[in-house]
Amino acid sequence: MPQTVSKWIGRWRALLRHQTGRAGLLIVVGMIGVGLAAPLIAPYDPLELVATPLEVPSAQHWLGTDSLGRDVLSRVIYGARTSIAAAAVSVSVALAAGVSAGAVAGYFGGWIDTLIMRGIDVLLSFPGILVALLVVVALEPGWPSVMIAVGLINVPLFCRQARAAVLSIRHHDYVEAAIAAGADTGYVLTRAIMPNLVPRMIVLTTLALGTAIIEVAGLSFLGLSGEVDVAEWGTMLTVAKSHLRVSIWPALAPGLAISVTVLGFNILGDAMRDLLDPRSEVRI
């Protein structure tokens, strides 16, 4: 078995032995599984008007109904698919753009590093929500705009971490050996440097997914997703906020779903940081 594969198998087993890591993994896998299996496990269609509006929880509707008479449980289940998928796409955009920019800045240094990092500083000088609002307004409201906006405000996080990692790696013997052997820049970056960023980026991605779920829900809560009927946790909160004095269930259910999912990603990210960070006291 290749050494790299054996190492990752060892890390996976260590994660399963890690008590809090196991709990976080269970929550994350459970919520993703709920979203994927939504058509099979949801009792009703999320858009179907199935009962009287704002019914309290009952045997037919475990979490009651919303202001239009739609089953809240079904909408929360389908909302897991929409919310987690939107957050995953957003973080993927941030990961690709941020790691690429950070690696180039850290490897080349000089004016390239200055140009990239000053651009990141400019982006960080504005509140994230303001940047997201400007992006969504510029591209017009809709889910693609929301995902791009959330991805953009997370680019600095990945860029700065990738740059710092490359600065610490670029002078290692194996990198210098690759350069001395005549390897081109693309080979050095992709084969010698990037593989060493993987553990750090896995941890950062896991933690960023929790933040992205909140950011996606926040933008959709403000109505920037452009769709008020879609089963998504932030949109559900928007619809429910006008009826809190009558029934709290349409707001409580998606709010708890967001909290539990974000908690799961954060716990999992912390456990993975303990296991993958060489400076950590926890050892695989």
In the chain, where are the structural domains located? 10-276
Residue 179 burial (CB count, 10 A):
15
Give me the residue label for tokens 């994660």.
Answer: 15
Confidence grade of residue 284 (pLDDT, cut at 50, 70, 90): very low
- Calculate the alpha carbon distances from 107 to 113, 160, 186, 277 in Å: 8, 13, 11, 22
- Calculate the alpha carbon distances from 43 to 71, 159, 279 in Å: 8, 43, 48
Alpha-carbon gap, residue 175 to 165, rounded angstroms: 13
For residue 4, the model assigns a pLDDT of: 65
Which residues lie below 8 Å from residue 254, measured CB to CB, with a gap of 6+?
75, 76, 79, 233, 234, 236, 237, 240
Identity of the residue numbered 164: A
For residue 1, the model assigns a pLDDT of: 46
- Torsion angles phi and psi, residue 65, rounded to 5: -125, 160
The SS3 of residue 90 is: helix
For the domain made up of 10-276, give the CATH fold: MetI-like fold (1.10.3720)
The SS3 of residue 111 is: helix
- Calculate the alpha carbon distances from 42 to 71, 77, 258, 261 in Å: 9, 6, 18, 18
- The tens digit of pLDDT for each residue in 134-160 reads 888 888 888 999 999 999 999 999 999
pLDDT at 84 over 80: yes
Q: Averaged over 246-259, what is the pLDDT?
A: 94
pTM: 0.90
- The tens digit of pLDDT for each residue in 96-146 reads 999 999 999 999 989 999 999 999 999 999 888 888 888 888 888 889 999
Of the two residues 63 and 179, the one the predictor is more confident about is: 63
Alpha-carbon gap, residue 256 to 76, rounded angstroms: 10
For residue 278, the model assigns a pLDDT of: 55
Max mean pLDDT among 16-20, 241-245, 260-264 falls in 260-264
Q: Residue 65: beta bridge partners? A: 71
Give me the residue label for tokens 């999320």.
Answer: 46
Alpha-carbon gap, residue 93 to 100, rounded angstroms: 11
Which of 156-170, 255-269, 270-284 is the least confident region?
A: 270-284
- On whether the CB atoms of residues 269 and 260 are closer than 8 A, the answer is no
Mean pLDDT of all residues belonging to the chain: 89
Alpha-carbon gap, residue 128 to 157, rounded angstroms: 12
- The tens digit of pLDDT for each residue in 168-198 reads 888 888 788 887 887 787 888 888 888 888 8
List the one residue out of 95, 106, 283 whose CA is nearest residue 200: 95
